[in-house]
Structure 1
Amino acid sequence: MHPNTQFHWQDREAMADFIGALGFGMVFAETPHGPRVAHVPAILEEGRLLFHLAKGNALSKHLDGQSALFLFNGPDAYVSPDWYGEPDQVPTWNYVSVELEGPVSTLSRDELVAQIDGLSATQEARFDKTPWTRAKMRDGLFEKMLGGIAGFALEPKAWRGTTKLGQNKSAEAISSAADAIEVNGRPAIAHWMRNLST
């Protein structure tokens, strides 16, 4: 989380919506071989963050019972000082992110299947097509593939959100920078800057 409290994001419901919209993040944890990270899809259900990893992943055999950090990165962009339209500015980077920290436990087989089904159903609902389900797989293949992954649940004890969007600047400077950022190919972060209340 950014040290400037102006950029702290406290709205858990909005952060949960942000996590749901992204559906993909990074889990960090300590292992006997040093810190490791894995990039994984995840879904929030009943207050827990559910995800799965390949059993061969360097984190898989070290997560159960350990505290971990899960990071969701949203849009970001470099901000040129010239874009504020005000003197004596410096370069910076605007971004949106949410960190969840807490203990991790292993999912049962049934919980893992439910996590996969829930994750795919959530993502498939975004498309204008008949949703994919496990029923489309040939008999026995899902069970075979299931043996290669491990499911986990992180119980968030800490939520840390950051919306660094120029809140320490004037409304005119934010608008000017957002316009320049959008012109330079980063419309998502420009949208966040124009809608600071979200």
Structure 2
Amino acid sequence: MHPNALFRSENRALFETLIEEIGFGMIFAQTPDGPRVAHTPLVHTGDGAVQFHLSRGNALTKHLPGMTALAVVNGPDAYVSPRWYDDAAQVPTWNYIALEMEGPVRRMDAEGLEGLLETLSERQEARVIGGAPWTMDKVPAYKLRAMMGGITGFEMEVRGWRPTLKLSQNKPAEERARVADALEAQGAMALAQLMRTLLDDKGAA
């Protein structure tokens, strides 16, 4: 989390929206073999937990159950040039959105894993343009069981939410607007839009 309190938020609905929209993140944990990270799709449960799955051969899989781990979701980010300020005698920075979640992890049973995979595919298939959504029942049961045997499902009870919404809140409103326009012109449309929609008239998220 960024140390500047201006870049923080307590908006849980916003955090869940970020997980939903990005849909992918990283799981970090300390293992007997050293620190490890895994990259995986993430699903929020709506009641303070996130679920994910890893290959059985992943370096984290055998260590995660019962551990406290860190999950990270990264949103849009972009370089901010000093030339966009009234006073160019400043330094470059980087605007970004990131969410860290910390909590204990438990292994899911086969039924829970299947439910996670169904939820994940339903949410992502709904975004695919054209044609009927793919569903898990298109895979023969024997084949699905074999494939599920190669992965492990996990659920993290999130006890610590640590967001960073660094969107130029430390600048005057007119300069934030100028930065948003410049970012949009550079192709960072998502970040520019978030700068305009997430900040109130006091610059808070």
Category of TM-score, reference length = shorter chain = over 0.9
Alignment of 1:88 with 2:85, yes or no, is no
CA apart distance, 1:13: 1.2
- Residue 39 of structure 2 corresponds to 39
Q: Which runs of 5+ in 1 are unaligned?
A: none
Opposite residue 133 of structure 1, the aligned amino acid is T
Paired residue total: 198
Q: Distance in 1 between matches of 2:172 and 2:35?
A: 40
Q: Which runs of 5+ in 2 are unaligned?
A: none
Q: Distance in 2 between matches of 1:90 and 1:192?
A: 22
The one-character-per-residue Cα deviations of 1:125-166 (angstroms, maximum 9, x if unpaired) are 123431111111234211110010000000000011111000
- Residue 101 of structure 1 corresponds to 102
- Residue 79 of structure 1 corresponds to 80
Opposite residue 166 of structure 1, the aligned amino acid is S
Q: Distance in 2 between matches of 1:140 and 1:84?
A: 61
Normalised by the size of structure 1, how large is the TM-score?
0.96
CA RMSD, Structure 1 to Structure 2 (Å)? 1.2
- Residue 122 of structure 2 corresponds to 121
- Residue 20 of structure 2 corresponds to 20
- Residue 11 of structure 2 corresponds to 11
- Residue 139 of structure 2 corresponds to 137
Secondary structure at the aligned position of 1:62 is classed as coil
- Residue 181 of structure 1 corresponds to 183
Q: Comparing 100-109 with 187-196, which one deviates more in the overlay? A: 187-196
Secondary structure at the aligned position of 1:61 is classed as coil
The one-character-per-residue Cα deviations of 1:14-72 (angstroms, maximum 9, x if unpaired) are 11111111111000001111110011001011322110000000000000000000000
- Residue 191 of structure 1 corresponds to 193
CA apart distance, 1:90: 1.0
Q: Distance in 2 between matches of 1:164 and 1:96?
A: 6
Q: Distance in 2 between matches of 1:134 and 1:74?
A: 29
**Pick aligned residue for 2:173 from 171, 194, 198:** 171
Secondary structure at the aligned position of 1:63 is classed as coil
CA apart distance, 1:85: 2.8
- Residue 50 of structure 1 corresponds to 51
Q: Distance in 2 between matches of 1:102 and 1:22?
A: 20
